[in-house]
Amino acid sequence: MSYTGPDFEPPQPRRSPLRRPLTVALAALVPGALLGWGVYAAVGGPDDGDGGGADRAGAVRTPAAPSSDGPGPASGAGDAKRPAGSPTAPTSEAPSASRPPASGALKGKVVVIDPGHNPANFQHATEINRKVNVGNHWKECDTTGTATNAGWPEAKFTLDVAHRLRDLLEEQGATVKLTQDGDRSYGPCVDERARIGNEAKADAAISIHADGSGAGNRGFHVIMPGPVHEGAADTRAIVAPSAELGKRVAGSFVRVTGTAPSNYLGDGTGLVTRTDLGGLNLSTVPKVFIECGNMRDSTDAALLTSGSWRQKAAEGMSEGIVSFLRG
């Protein structure tokens, strides 16, 4: 999340003993500056036609901070993503405020963003361990996700990147829907996450995650749906467009973040196909997952906990989605 609490709030400047004299000096200069601007305007300065809209275009919404930053105990014996240790505050860079005004290139397009897991899942072990049908098998409703070795949870990472991505896509004119926005006590379950995208008739959907693999395993990978036609799952219509979406997201992610594809999955391509993920199996719209890096590797964790890198990650995803939707 784009918190305003201790994790993300920039340090406040110290009051300087020179502040009073500087204030007096600036007060004396302001009338002269205004007079100079009046002369400049009168003789015809450049007209950008923006009407003061640039500041509004650069504004970034900041959701409210939760009451605690600590991860809870992990659940789900089959999930490699397990939090450990106590939390440390990630780097506090804020999202960039210098983005261009909305171009409207995605007007009429719907994008669903699925921030993986939920910060409160650990408090609802019974609910998230409940099995749901994902077509070709049954799977837990959700998991707690992983965390850095210092304890910063994947669920907070995914929500922060989702907010940044939402802002970028909305600037392009897209209608954006999140599957959860820190507004639920747990979940949603993987089948509901897919259903939200289906019911929105999304033109593209992306599920944001970070991996919990072993130290030394580094890099990102994009997961695409494989062909499944069993039970409630039928991915045959979305396999090809999802593969195209995945390739574009992966290509843009490399270019914008400078991060290499996974060195432990995907044979160096950064692309992986799976048929066991309910969020993909049950989707009827083009959809991919992205594992942005490995939270359990210290080098990757340094990137994932950096606000400036998370902004680049969102920009890479956004550019890939825009490229896919514009064809």
Report how far residue 30's alpha carbon sits from residue 282's, in angstroms, rounded to the nearest whole number. Answer: 62
Amino acid at 72: G
Start-to-end CA span in the chain (Å): 31
Residue 135, SS3?
coil
Residue 80 in tokens: 């490699």
- In terms of phi and psi (left: phi > 0; alpha: psi -120 to 50; beta: otherwise), the region of 297 is beta
- Count the residues in the chain: 327
Residue 298 in tokens: 């210290």
The enclosing H or E element of 206 equals: strand 204-211
Q: What is the DSSP letter of 150?
A: T
Catalytic residues: 291
H helix runs in 14-117, sequence order:
19-43, 54-58
Q: How far is CA 55 from CA 20, 34, 50, 136, 311, in A?
A: 29, 20, 10, 50, 18
> Which residues are bridge partners to 115 per DSSP?
208
Report how far residue 130's alpha carbon sits from residue 213's, in angstroms, rounded to the nearest whole number. Answer: 24
Report how far residue 101's alpha carbon sits from residue 205's, in angstroms, rounded to the nearest whole number. Answer: 23
Do the Cβ atoms of 72 and 144 come closer than 8 Å? Answer: yes
Do the Cβ atoms of 3 and 65 come closer than 8 Å? Answer: yes
